C-alpha cells in the first residue's frame, strides 16, 4: 500500500511540474485586499480580515471568509491563513509562469508559509491545473523543491475515516495537458 502511494507521488511529480508559484512578477506586485471588516495590529504584526475576503497580488487571487496575515519583525509578510466559512471552502488561484491555464486550489483552511515556500491545504483539499487533479484531507506543497505530500485522514486502525476519504490523483495524458 505504501509503495503504491510513493509510486503515485513520484509519477505525479514527474508528470505535473509544480511550477505553481506563478509569474515571477507576482511577488513584486502590491497586495490588494477587500473584506467586510479589517482588524490590523501593527505592533503584533497581525492583520485579520473577515467577510467575503478577496486578496489579489498580480495573478494570485485568494478568496476566503477569514484571512489572517502575519508579519515578521521587519514587517514582511511571513504567513497567511485563509479559512472558508461554514460549508464553504477557501480558494486560491494563480497563473504559473509559461502556462496558459491557472493553478487552482480549495480547502477548508489554507496556510501559506511565504518564507518557507510551502502551502498547506487542510480538510477537503483539492488542487487542479488543466485536467490534472489531486485531492486529500491534507496536501502540502513545497513550491521551491516542487514536491507534493498528500494524506487522508485515518482512524486508529489506519483506515480512512470516511468512505472515499483516500488521496485521489488524476493525470491527463501529456497531449491533453498542453
Residue 3: per-residue pLDDT? 40
Residue 95: per-residue pLDDT? 82
Among the listed residues 3, 173, 22, the one whose alpha carbon sits nearest the alpha carbon of residue 93: 22
Cell of 55: 486578496
State the residue for C-alpha cell 486508529: 156
Residue 146: per-residue pLDDT? 59
> 43-53: per-residue pLDDT in tens?
999 999 999 99
Spatial distance between the Cα atoms of 143 and 19, rounded to a whole number of angstroms: 7
Residue 9: per-residue pLDDT? 40
The answer to whether residues 110 and 147 touch, using CB atoms and an 8 Å cutoff, is: no
Domains of the chain: 2-177 (2.60.450.10)
- Regions of the chain with pLDDT less than 70: 1-24, 143-147, 154-165, 175-178
Output helix, strand, coil percentages for the chain, rounded to the nearest 5: 10, 50, 40
Amino acid at each position: 500500500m505504501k509503495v503504491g502511494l510513493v509510486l503515485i507521488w513520484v509519477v505525479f511529480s514527474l508528470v505535473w511540474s509544480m511550477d505553481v508559484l506563478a509569474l515571477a512578477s507576482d511577488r513584486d506586485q502590491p497586495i490588494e485586499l477587500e473584506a467586510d471588516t479589517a482588524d490590523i495590529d501593527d505592533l503584533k504584526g497581525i492583520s485579520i480580515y473577515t467577510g467575503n475576503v478577496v486578496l489579489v497580488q498580480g495573478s494570485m487571487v485568494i478568496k476566503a471568509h477569514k484571512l489572517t496575515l502575519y508579519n515578521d519583525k521587519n514587517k514582511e509578510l511571513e504567513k497567511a491563513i485563509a479559512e472558508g466559512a461554514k460549508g464553504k471552502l477557501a480558494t486560491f488561484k494563480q497563473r504559473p509562469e509559461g502556462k496558459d491555464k491557472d493553478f487552482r486550489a480549495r480547502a477548508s483552511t489554507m496556510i501559506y508559509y511565504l518564507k518557507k515556500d510551502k502551502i498547506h491545504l487542510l480538510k477537503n483539499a483539492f488542487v487542479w491545473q488543466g485536467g490534472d487533479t489531486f485531492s486529500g484531507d491534507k496536501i502540502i506543497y513545497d513550491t521551491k523543491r516542487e514536491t507534493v505530500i498528500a494524506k487522508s485522514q485515518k482512524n486508529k486502525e489506519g483506515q480512512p475515516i470516511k468512505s472515499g476519504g483516500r488521496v485521489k490523483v488524476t493525470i491527463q495524458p501529456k497531449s491533453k495537458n498542453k
